[in-house]
Amino acid sequence: MGRLPTRLLIDLPNWLGDLVHALPALRAMVRANREGETTLLLPEAHLPLGRGFGVGVVARPPGAGWTWARRTIGASFEVALTARHSTRAKLLLAATSAVRRLASAGRGAGWLGLETFPVCRRHHQRHDLDGALALLGLPPVADEAGDLPLSAACRRAGKQALSELTGGQGGVVLCPGARHLPAKRYPAERFAAVGRALRRAGWAVLVLGGPGEEPLLESVAARCEGTAVPTCWGLDLIAGLLHASNVAVGNDSGLTHLAAAVGCPTVVLHGPTDPARTGAAGRVRTLIGAGPAGLAAMCPQRVAWAAQMAVGGEDLHVSQREAMISRGGGPLAQLAEQGTLNP
């Protein structure tokens, strides 16, 4: 008991970007436990993505903690692991009564009697669960893209949705949101300028965001004669749409990371966050903005050019010297990263 294969529960992040960064470790655990029983615990909105792994999924309601876990999970699993770092997540884990309960060190984990592993925030976020993998007898993840498995039906639905939204044209997706930290957002008027430049290049422009971002999406779409994608769509359809699209351009946010994870050529605009820590993996071109002007200093024409180069499969990584302005650091960058840590 307590080793793979077993009855395994994996408590996944709240934020979509954090879920994408956890994909390589998640894939490794699911593969190693194929002779056992794996269940993923994740927000209801993320259930369609979790089902793509072919394992059990359970919706975790907002604010779920000790009481919810005792009532819902109890002693159903032999090994339980949380990919979140908050005290609430560790309370939930402690309530499972699993033989082994694995959590990152700190935030009360030791006091709760959990088996802990270290997290080195000098490494990319995809390595946050390397310590947990070691406790399970698995090697650390490689520095490769954490691709998200998509079913054939999901791909077909995404291709159909793209065709309907663009009239059969090639589609460029803009992701102008970043709900939890305004400093991560490229200005809306500049996103619209990027959209106009790409329209002149012959692309249909789609503007994508999450619930609550409708005014921003409609504003950007109106300024570049694009189309706002309905925010009520499930993440499986959104993932299929991104997979079918020619290129995505967005802030360091969950939907941008999802685009890269499903294989869409992606341009990521980094402001205060460090791409060495939270950068997307895959066919990605990274443009970096920092300093007093931040992302606002990035020229929309440069961003549109990067998107066209990404579509063409050019060298997709922009070096530090090629960046518009130097990468951020210090307290603001740390605060921005903390905004993405799993609550």
Strands in 92-163 per DSSP E: 100-104, 115-117
| 125 within 8 A of 139, measured Cβ to Cβ | no
Domain boundaries, the chain: 7-135, 152-338
User: For the chain, how big is the Rg over CA atoms in Å?
Assistant: 20
What fold does the segment set 7-135 form as a domain?
Rossmann fold (3.40.50)
pLDDT digits (tens, 9 = 90+) for 187-242: 999 999 999 999 999 999 999 999 999 999 999 999 999 999 999 999 999 999 99
Give the three-state DSSP class for 101: strand
Q: How confident is the model at residue 144 (pLDDT cuts 50, 70, 90)?
A: low
152-338 CATH choice from 3.90.440.10, 3.40.47.10, 3.40.190.10, 3.40.50.2000: 3.40.50.2000
Higher pLDDT, 249 or 184: 249
CA dist., res. 201 & res. 196, Å (int): 9
Q: Which two tokens stand for residue 279?
A: 């950068």
Q: Which of 255, 277, 279, 256 is nearest to 266 (CA)?
A: 256
Q: What is the pTM of this model?
A: 0.90
**Encoded tokens for 118:** 């270290």
Q: Do domains 7-135 and 152-338 have the same CATH topology?
A: yes
pLDDT single digits (tens) 58-108: 999 999 999 999 999 878 899 999 999 999 999 999 999 899 999 999 999
- The sign of the dihedral angle between the CA atoms of 51, 89, 144, 138 is negative
CB 224 within 8 A of CB 205: yes
- Averaging pLDDT over each range in 172-176, 273-277, 310-314, which range is the top one? 172-176
Whether the CB-CB separation of 7 and 336 falls below 8 Å is answered with: no
